[in-house]
Every structure is written in C-alpha cells, then in structure tokens.
Structure 1
C-alpha cells in the first residue's frame, strides 16, 4: 500500500515526539510505502491533481532519520490513502491545498482528514455546535461585547480564531487591565473576530488532549500542565505533558462528538478539555501520539493505522 503524507518539511519534524513520524513508522513496519510532499507540491495538470512526492525510507538510527529513495510526480488519486498533516496556520495556502485535494477526492482519492471537512471545520468556531460541553464562550468582533462578557465573568481568556500552540492567548482578570488594548491588538481594531471564554482555574491541572480516531477515543489523554506562572498549557508554550486515563465525562463527550465528526470525514480529531469542559476541537494535525505511547505503553499509532485500514477496506 502506498501512503502519501502531506506535511511540513521532513527536516522540521521534532523527531523525538512527532505524531506524523509515529504514523509513518507504524505504516512502514507494516510494509507500506511512505511518500511525502508539501502543499506547494500539489498542482493541477490538464484537469487532474498531481503531487511531486518523494518516497522515503525511515531509519531512526541514521542521520538524517530518513532517506529519499525516489521522487516522482503522481496523480494524488493513485495513492491508496492521502494523510493530510500540514500544520497550521490555516491560511490561503492551506485552503488552496484543500481545494486541490477536494478535486482529487472527486477523482477517487481517499483523504484523511477529508479536505471538505477540514475547510468547513474551524477549530474554534466548531465548538458552537457543542456548547453544552463548553465553558461560557463568546465569539465577536466587537470590543463592547467582550467588555460585557468580562463584566459578567470577571476572569476571562481571549484568543484569536486562527492561533495555534498557545499563540496569542491572554488572560484578563477582574481588574480588566489592558482589556481594550488586547482586543484592539489581537482583533486588528475590529477586523478579526476573537474568542473569549470564562477562565477555568482547573488549568493548573492541565489542558487535556483527548484523541479520537475513527470515532473512538484513545483511552489515555495528555494533560499539558502550565509551567513557571504561565496560563497556557500548550507544549509549544512550555507546558509539561503528563499522560493519564481519560475521565468518564471526557469519554461521554468523545462518544457523542467522535462518531459525528468521523461521519463527516474527520478521521482523527483532538478534543481539548480543561476541568472537564471542552475548549477546542482540533482537526488539522492533532498531536500527542508519542507522549501518550511512551508514558502509558498504549500504542496510539497502531490504533490510528488499524482504523485507517478499516476505512480503506
């Protein structure tokens, strides 16, 4: 089986903990051929969608950890499966890639996550469909709306809709210090909508990532615990990752949301919880495979590949 991974440059992978690499290794262990391309390598030629891709062999003892054995321009639909793992930002290049992949899907390509679903699913706004599980939440362009929300809840988090890895997240306490300035800066003076949520003190126990694969939750999640006075638990912001079993409440939320989003083509999602409240639904390139596997012994990549194989039957 030939698998094409659409991802960031291989040289940029964090080898010790990269979830895409964990997927590749699991697939290679099953004897599958691993191919890689960037979103910029996808194009339309005479109406068909092609990707200039390199076939790689992974050797974790080598330096670098991969060897390119072949480079070829192939129809995207010729691969047995296409794994879309390009990291944010969700910019026009990303959107264009989903348009190309949507056409490739019409040509018969099997793509995970589905490009139409990726394009339609905002990792922040998608929460609106499931607000019964979320903390008090507001999304608006308007400074007054956010000021009113703050007056009601006193201690809030403000973040941009297109942020990743904890970038652009601010806490505003009861004194409202710099609230207007934060909103004006993050919102580009009213040109960008922002998300505001009631601050959850349970963040001290971690921002917990729960992975859901093919509609089924991984039994262990990763609590990303803020360090050094930070309010952000994101690993990219210095948070400490601690694996632990998912709670009964988290499991019930996953049982509701997971199959629904899987039916829309979102094979792999990451649900983020703070204190049992759902705060985001990640779909672009959910991570934490390696940390969970290393700390618990539960093979997340194996669950992912087994689920993928079932979809391809």
Structure 2
C-alpha cells in the first residue's frame, strides 16, 4: 500500500474538494472522474458517460432498484443512472460544495448527503447495488470501506469499484517521484495494488466476479485535463487565484505526474465487479423494498 508522507484524513479530503471546486468543475466537469474510450473517436463528454454506463452494465441495474453512490461528487453519475436505468440513488460526499451543486441540479430519485461513508447510517441489507468511482482511494480505512458496503448490500447485491491502483512491486523511484506525491497532493490516505484490493474484498465477504485493467482506455483523460487547465489559467482570473494561492494547489502539480504514472505503468486503473452471496434471498429482499428509498438513519 502506498501511503503519503503526510497523513490524510476525511477533513483534508473535504477541504481539498471544497477549496478546489471551481477548478474541478472547469477542468473535469461535473463527473470528476476519468473518461473511458472504446473506439478512440469519442468526445471527452461521451467517454465520461461511457464509464458511467459501463458501471451500470456491470451492476446489471434494473428499474426500481435501490442504489448507493459512495463518493458521489456532484451527483452526475447518480443522476445519469437514475434517468437511464430507472433506479433510485443515495449518494455520499464529504464535500459541502459538491452537495450544494447536486442540490441545484435535482433529479427525481437522487438524494445526496454530506456524510462520511465510514459512518453512513444506512440500515443493513438496504441497497440492491452500490458503486464507488474513484472514491475508494480517499478512504482512510479501506477494509472498513468494503465492510460497510457488504453490510449495506442485500444478499445477491453487486458492487462495482473503479479505482486508481499502484503498480505491484513498484520501483523506488516510481514510489518517491510519482505515487507518493500523487497520494499527498490528491489527499489520498493510501493507494493499493490490485492484489491488496482483492484481499480486502475477500476479507469483507465479497466474491470478485470480474476485473478489468482499463488504464490505456482512460489515460488520455489527463492530457485533456492539462489542456483545459492551461487554457483556464490563461483566461480566467479565478482559476489563477485558486491554482496559485490555494492550500491544496499541489493537486495542480499532480496532473503531469499522473500522465507520467500511466505512461510508465506506475499507476493502473482497474474496474472490479463484486457480489455478495445469496442471490435468491437478494431477489426476495428487492421485492420487499420495491418503491421505498434508501435513506441514512
């Protein structure tokens, strides 16, 4: 596990996203995650939605299901899956700014809370499906992150995780100059390898039903972000003020590191598909909950 030389916690993650909110929305847009290119001809917006749709496909979402978006950001993924799949979604974010934006862009069936997933308040077996797109990296206690997902999911429920992963047995220079600074500048308490994630998944009680390394299909995201950032710095005073004066301005430095981390294979992007045992019981539970929303206590 790659751990930054300065300890990170949930408050630091929240501060990071609140302070850099103007830059994130301008550089990454409302989804705040990688795009997924299949043909190579997709626009950045199409690629971002393709990643969301891939998550929906791997979850096997059907109308009426109760879902949880762990680390929902601005709620864009929740909104898209609610509209296109007919599901209801409870989202969790640490950022008050992200929740404010989500509240200003409401969609029926989507409910966003400013709350730490590690203290989510959801009832046992209250959700049919869950996803975490690039949020597991921000979890201070990753085993508990998986354990909470397992507790909240109904028997037979599915969980999809899109994660930044460290290269297995990464060399010393990759750790020192790429992976550790990426964790520190991006407020990641740790970055695990595929093997470390799978060990935590199994320990939490999940079965890994699928894994795909899509690093080459997502990595161009960072060249696009770099171009957008340079343009914003040239034309927008607010972007310059935040990027140069913010407490969290180190995140800007991570963009070239991320480009190099992908090119050197120091970092990977993996999509895990997990399942909780008990599919037959899970279907019965879904019938009981039909029409009811998942809400924290």
Q: Same fold (TM over 0.5)?
A: no
What is the TM-score with the length of structure 2 in the denominator?
0.34
Relative contact order higher in (CA < 8 Å, ≥ 6 apart): 2
Identify, as 1 or 2, the structure richer in strand.
Answer: 1
